[in-house]
Amino acid sequence: MGGIKNEIRRTKAYARKFGQNLTDDQLFLRLISDKIRNFEMIKGEGEKVKQDGNWERKMEVAKEFVREHLSKIRGVIMVGVTGSTATEMALENEDIDLLIVTKRNELWWWRFYLRLCVLINKIPHRKFGVKERANEFCFNLWLDENNLTIPKKKQNLKNATDLIMMKVILNRDNCYQRFLKKNIWVTKYLATGYNQRLEKDKTIKEENVFEKGNSIKMLVNIFFYIVQYLYMRTKNKKLMVNLGQAFFHEDN
């Protein structure tokens, strides 16, 4: 039992770095270990955390936004809430982080479309260099379905935790299941949580082979990528973006 005790101790200590106390369920999902553990092994080791409801209210705001806007964009096939809202420990004044997955070769034109959408509809959203505000949307992570694997340089404990705790709002074409399968590296950090996410849906399909897609669509996507990249470079020279992925938080 020394192994599990050390894992529990390490998990709690890591959570406290972010000012978080974990319930049994949260401790189980976030258990730092490359071994799959049973819930009975950690039962009673968590804290009795009083929930203030901030994260639930933020989830409702996110769900409404997805219903009203993102669900109507045919090229968006998955939306997940990440960050403090997903960990169920959000503060009232914090924003709402979103991960968005698009169809292959469509990321940059749908990102451009969404930028217009939030401006036209005056949707609160995080602006570069401006301090976050309550319930603003932060579109900080974009992937297309041919690029679901988180890059090796970002395969760390923090991002493994974000991936496991993510709350998926929109899931088309079995995208979430494919996303999990492509990020099996998470098991090096959170094997139990990863296994639990897989267990929730055992209908994971074999991954689609890489498809080049329509050449015109690719050229349009490249055009929107170049335009947005050149603009973003004037704001932030430490971008980590390519045709199939965009990460806008330096610590992601």
Q: How far is Cα 181 from Cα 187, in angstroms, rounded to an integer?
A: 11
Q: What is the DSSP letter of 167?
A: E
pLDDT tens digits along 157-186? 999 999 999 999 999 999 999 999 999 999
**pTM value?**
0.89
Q: Are residues 89 and 7 in the same domain?
A: no
Q: Are residues 112 and 210 in the same domain?
A: yes
pLDDT tens digits along 197-230? 987 765 444 444 344 457 888 899 999 999 998 8
| Domain annotation covers residue 126 | yes
Count of domains forming the chain: 2
Q: How far is CA 50 from CA 9, 57, 144, 162, 210, in A?
A: 21, 15, 38, 22, 46
CA dihedral of residues 83, 88, 90, 95 (deg, nearest 10):
40
| Domain annotation covers residue 234 | yes
**Number of C-beta neighbours around residue 163 at 10 A:** 24
| Domain annotation covers residue 29 | yes
| Domain annotation covers residue 156 | yes
Q: Are residues 107 and 67 in the same domain?
A: yes
Determine the pLDDT at residue 45: 95
Average pLDDT by consecutive 10-residue portion of the chain (252 residues)? 88 93 95 97 87 88 96 95 93 94 95 94 83 88 97 96 96 94 97 91 44 75 92 75 86 50
Token pair recorded at residue 117: 């959408």
Determine the pLDDT at residue 132: 80
Q: Are residues 90 and 178 in the same domain?
A: yes
Q: Are residues 27 and 66 in the same domain?
A: no
| Domain annotation covers residue 48 | no
| Domain annotation covers residue 175 | yes
Q: How far is Cα 194 from Cα 168, in angstroms, rounded to an integer?
A: 15
Residues pairing with 108 in the sheet:
none
Q: Are residues 144 and 215 in the same domain?
A: yes
Determine the pLDDT at residue 96: 96
Q: Which amino acid makes up residue 222?
A: I
Q: Which residues of 128-153 are buried (b: 16+ CB within 10 A; e: fewer)?
A: eeeeeebbbbbbbbbbbbbbbbbeee
Q: Are residues 80 and 161 in the same domain?
A: yes
CATH number at residue 75: 3.30.460.10
Determine the pLDDT at residue 238: 67
Q: Are residues 101 and 65 in the same domain?
A: yes
Question: In terms of residue numbers, what domain contains 30?
Answer: 2-41
Token pair recorded at residue 166: 């993510």
Q: Are residues 99 and 22 in the same domain?
A: no
Count how many Cα atoms sit within 13 Å of the Cα of residue 208 in the half-sphere of its side chain: 17
Q: Are residues 205 and 243 in the same domain?
A: yes
Q: Are residues 70 and 135 in the same domain?
A: yes
Determine the pLDDT at residue 14: 96
Q: Name the maximum alpha-carbon separation found in the chain.
A: 59
Determine the pLDDT at residue 51: 66
| Domain annotation covers residue 47 | no
Determine the pLDDT at residue 201: 60
Q: Are residues 28 and 108 in the same domain?
A: no
| Domain annotation covers residue 49 | no
Q: How far is Cα 252 from Cα 245, in angstroms, rounded to an integer?
A: 12
